[in-house]
Amino acid sequence: MKSIPPPISRGFNLVEIAIVLVIFTLVITGILRGQELINSAKARHLIDQKSSFQTAFIAFSNRYKLTAGDLTAAQASFVANNIVLPSACGGDGVVNFDSNNSQSCSQPESVVVFQNLTAVNLLSCANCMNVSPTAPNVDATTGNTYINSYSQSYRFGLVSASNAAAGGYWLDPNPALMPAKNILSTGSKITAAILQQVDQKADDGFPHSGLFRQSTTDSADSTTNCAPSTVAGTVTSYTWNNLGNANCAGAWLF
């Protein structure tokens, strides 16, 4: 009786291995390219939101000769659904970013800015109409203000610069020389890599100069983690930490 020879086992030949490697490379390249497109779309969305807000804010000023978020009770009665702050903060020429402002009014007016613009159909923001007359819920939340694609609140108002690791609202190497400015905070939960794309697409690419800066608003991570500094002689410069996953934020200067 003939014995049946055992089956011959063999590995992959060079052609088969090459085909597998090509397929693997194509898959990885596709994943990386897809992630790049997603990040680019997120960056573009942040830029588009800023443009929509800026257009609405300027249009409101031109139409009513008033500043959104800084209305008196009489002005709000015909402009913005009677939305005013509990105390007499409107009309002082300052939009307060939060309750820590050292202006004549300590009430945050940021959330009222977006409500005013939405009430007159200059901004599309359904959440922004969830603010009651006399604005008892003046703190910005995801339920009552403009939000980014990470469901974090935008804010607007007058704040100062800082170069402290975890202080201030917009980054500048020489904050003592810079006046306070109105800023539009992007909200947090954004990686520095996305903010770098925003900066490169719409500004100068650096977190410490131009009209788009690194920010520590909305409990975002520190400057050290989001935009670390380097010192050359007497010059301090910063770069976006595009390899990290810190919870960062940016600020548009107005």
pLDDT tens-digit readout, 170-184: 999 999 999 999 999
Q: Is the pLDDT of residue 104 over 70?
A: no
Taken in order 131, 85, 114, 170, is the CA torsion positive or negative?
A: negative
User: What pLDDT band is residue 227 in, cutting at 50, 70 and 90?
Assistant: very high
Query: What's the pLDDT tens digit per position in 9-45?
Result: 555 666 666 776 667 666 666 555 566 667 888 899 9
Which has the minimum average pLDDT: 81-90, 139-148, 219-228? Answer: 81-90
70-94 average pLDDT score = 86
Measured distance CA(217)–CA(249) in Å, rounded? 7
Which has the minimum average pLDDT: 39-53, 130-144, 191-205, 219-233? Answer: 130-144
26 half-sphere exposure, CB direction, 13 A CA radius: 6
Burial level of 178, CB count in 10 A (0-12/13-18/19+)? middle
Q: Is the pLDDT of residue 208 over 80?
A: yes
Contact assessment for residue 165 and residue 221, using Cβ atoms and an 8 Å cutoff: no
Which residues, in sequence order, are CB contacts of 27 under 8 Å at separation 6+? Answer: none
End-to-end C-alpha distance for the chain, whole angstroms: 95
pLDDT of residue 192: 96
Token code pair at residue 148: 């980014």
Taken in order 181, 187, 193, 199, is the CA torsion positive or negative?
A: negative
User: Would you call 250 helix, strand, or coil by DSSP?
Assistant: strand
Give the start-end residues of each E strand in 74-206. 155-159, 161-162, 170-171, 181-185
pLDDT of residue 108: 85
pLDDT of residue 203: 97
Q: Could you write out the three-class secondary structure of 76-89?
A: HHHHCCCCCCCCCC
Residue scoring higher pLDDT (82 or 17)? 82
Measured distance CA(61)–CA(57) in Å, rounded? 6
User: What pLDDT band is residue 226 in, cutting at 50, 70 and 90?
Assistant: very high
Residue scoring higher pLDDT (15 or 140)? 140
Residue scoring higher pLDDT (101 or 199)? 199
21 half-sphere exposure, CB direction, 13 A CA radius: 7
Query: What's the pLDDT tens digit per position in 156-169?
Result: 999 999 998 766 78
How confident is the prediction for the chain on average, in pLDDT?
A: 86
Q: Is the pLDDT of residue 51 over 90?
A: yes
Listed residue (131, 133, 153, 150) closest to 142, CA to CA: 153
8 half-sphere exposure, CB direction, 13 A CA radius: 1
